[in-house]
Amino acid sequence: MTSSSRRLAATAVLAAVALTGAACSTKLSTSSPPSTTAAPTTTIPGSSTPAQTKASDYRAQLTYLMVEHVYLLGRVTAEVVAAGGIPSSSAASATTTTSAPATPTSSSVATSSTATTTTTTTVAATTTTEAATAAGPLSIPGADDAATALDKNSHDIADLLAQAQGYGSTFSDSFYQLWSARIGDVADYATAKVAKDSSGATAANSALTANALALATLFHQTNKYLAVNTVDKSGVDDELGPDNAAVTTFVDAQASKAATALSALVAAAELMRHTSVVFAAAAAKLDPDQYPGTATGTAANLRASITAALVEHVELAALTTDPLVAGQSAAVPAASLADNSGQLDNVVIVNFGDPAGETFASLWGSYVSSLEGYARSKAGGGTAPDLSGVGQQIGAFLGAQAPQLSASVLGSDVQALVDTLKAVVDDAGSQTPEVIALRVAAATVPKLGSDLAEGIAEDKPKLYLP
């Protein structure tokens, strides 16, 4: 599947779902949020509610971290471009060319992820690839804490993937090394682009291609349900190729200072949502007792879509308030933030009708305007609006839509998101590195997405199955 068609497919997921119904100093929690509503009768072992099965938990958590990853990567590459590139010594300390962990010189893999397919293809020999030998954040001159946040996010992704019992004790480290090498390759690409070094950009692109193959091989060796390449382009290498192309597209725009940089970043994040589905579904298939439920069921789709949209809200809200705090225009990120608000409104419209959508759009729009006003106040742009009642207002609205939606629980969830985004603005206003606070804000999303999706799924059980 091409990059553009996958982007359309990713967008269609959200619409179809609707129509059918921190960088912290410590690890972010990957535990499943508790169920907040009464459990219906179910035949799925280990599951009490349709949107909160173990398979759905895993997919939602992975979706949150992978979408966050793209936005953090975008912050890092923007810093690389602003710095005029990274010193060669920094790139060398992050990545080096060496033997990939657990990568054979050749491998025969199924050309389809289905167990019944017998056709095979031989992967080209890969004797060397980039792997992180001095794992850790990139050193970017004059940068804030985005690289550190990205590194912690990479650890979180590696640890979450490795929770699948069939993945074994060595997978997390092997994945982290290769994933960190990918970050280094992207930084090298950004460095080459800002220097207008075409040969360097070509070399970085080649390194990304080799890295994608090494990651795909690692996944296939670990999980037989994940192919390297397939005829229908559903293998891991088939996924990572377009993901990498989307990343280099937004880096190109950043380096040339094009107005399309942010829209390209959003497109890359939406592609990563699809990659999360592939990884989660395969883990659930490999370890069905550990992940009861269906990672791709309609309730899981709903929860993952809401989670992704809310993570994007956090990231786009921060990108919008950043220039406002500095007294600058935020027209471009504000437009993307408005598009994101429309995605959330669409979930309300389809599940509860147009009048409900109009009310939600008014409430959510008022909150976003107040958050922007709060950011402007940091630059002397008037009195700071009071955001303390946002959670109660939106929680009360959602609670009125269905008895399965708890006004108090959802109100608390929303207020946690609002308060942590205020903290991001506060840090930006005091010239304190804000990305630590940004990860804390993003970490409030999984519970809100879980509670909201579960209430909708219980209200419409014929539409949203586990």
**Is it the case that residue 40 has pLDDT exceeding 90?**
no
**Tokens 């359309």, located at residue:** 8
Judge whether residue 163 has pLDDT over 80. yes
Q: What is the pTM of this model?
A: 0.84
Which residues, 6+ apart, have CB-to-CB distance to 139 below 8 Å? 86, 87, 90, 93, 147
In a domain, residue 3? The reply is no
Statement to judge: residues 276 and 373 lie in one domain: no
At 136 the pLDDT is 78
Mean pLDDT of the chain: 85
3-state secondary structure 252-295: HHHHCCCCCHHHHHHHHHHHHHHHHHHHHHHHHHHCCCCCCCCC
Is 169 in the same domain as 303?
no
Instruction: Kindly state whether residues 130 and 218 are assigned to the same domain.
Output: yes
Nearby residues of 181 by Cβ (< 8 Å), 6 or more positions away: 94, 95, 129, 130, 131, 132, 207, 211
Contact yes or no for 230/238 (Cβ under 8 A): yes
Residue 247 has pLDDT above 70, yes or no: yes
CA–CA dist 228, 108 (Å, integer): 9
Q: Of 291, 326, 361, which marks where a domain is finished?
A: 291
Does residue 66 share a domain with residue 99? yes
Residues 150 and 273 in one domain: yes
The count of residues in the chain is: 466
Question: SS3 of 46, please?
Answer: coil
Closest by CA position to 314, among listed 434, 433, 431, 401: 434
pLDDT at 61: 98
270 and 335 in one domain? Answer: no
**Can you tell me the distance from the alpha carbon of 426 to that of 422, in angstroms, rounded to the nearest whole number?**
6
Query: 327 and 268 in one domain?
Result: no
Q: Is residue 8 part of a domain?
A: no
Same domain membership, residue 240 and residue 305 = no
On whether residue 417 sits in a domain, the answer given is yes
Q: Is 371 helix (H, G, I), strand (E, B) or coil?
A: helix
Residue 24 DSSP symbol: -
Whether 14 is in a domain gets the answer no
Residue 28 has pLDDT above 70, yes or no: no
Examine residue 147 and state whether it is found in any structural domain, yes or no: yes
Q: Residue 346: is its pLDDT beyond 70?
A: yes
Nearest to 80 by CA among 72, 68, 132: 72
At 218, is the secondary structure helix, strand, or coil? Answer: helix
- Cβ-based neighbour number of residue 421 at 10 Å: 26
Q: How many domains does the chain have?
A: 2
- Decide if 180 is inside a domain: yes
How much of the chain exceeds pLDDT 70, in percent? 79
**Residue 433's pLDDT band (boundaries 50, 70, 90)?**
confident
Shared domain for 160 and 275, answered yes or no, is yes
| Residue 39: per-residue pLDDT | 37
The arithmetic mean of pLDDT across residues 239-256, rounded, is: 98
CA dist 312 and 333 (Å) reads 12
| Residue 341: pLDDT over 90 | yes
Whether residue 33 is predicted with pLDDT greater than 80 in this model: the reply is: no
Q: Confirm whether 17 is domain-assigned.
A: no
The boundaries of the domain holding residue 317 are 22-52+299-459
Whether residue 283 is found in the same domain as residue 328: no
SS (H, E, C) 121-162: EEECCCCCEEECCCCCCCCCCCCCCHHHHHHHHHHHHHHHHC
Distance CA 196, CA 424 (A): 34
Q: Helix 445-459 vs helix 298-325: angle between axes, to the nearest 10 degrees?
A: 140
90-134 per-position pLDDT tens digit: 544 444 333 344 433 333 333 333 333 333 333 333 333 344 445
Listed residues 257, 273, 291: the one ending a domain: 291
Q: Decide which of 291, 325, 340 is a domain's last residue.
A: 291
Would you tell me the crossing angle of helices 435-442 and 407-429 to the nearest 10 degrees?
170
Q: Is residue 193 part of a domain?
A: yes
Q: Report the alpha-carbon distance of residue 249 to residue 103 in Å, rounded.
A: 28
As given in the structure block, the two tokens for residue 228 are: 């390297």
What is the DSSP code string of 300-344?
HHHHHHHHHHHHHHHHHHHHHHHHHHTT---HHHHHHHHHHHHHH
Across 291-308, average pLDDT = 96
Residues 41 and 77 in one domain: no
Please write the tens of the pLDDT for every residue from 49-75. 899 999 999 999 999 999 999 999 999
Q: CA-based angle 347:23:31, to the nearest 5? A: 60
Mean pLDDT of 441-446: 98
287 and 249 fall within a common domain: yes
Reply yes or no on whether the pLDDT at 422 is more than 80: yes
Summarize pLDDT for 365-416 with one digit per residue, the tens.
Answer: 999 999 999 999 999 988 999 999 999 999 999 999 999 999 999 999 999 9
Would the pLDDT of 434 be above 80? yes
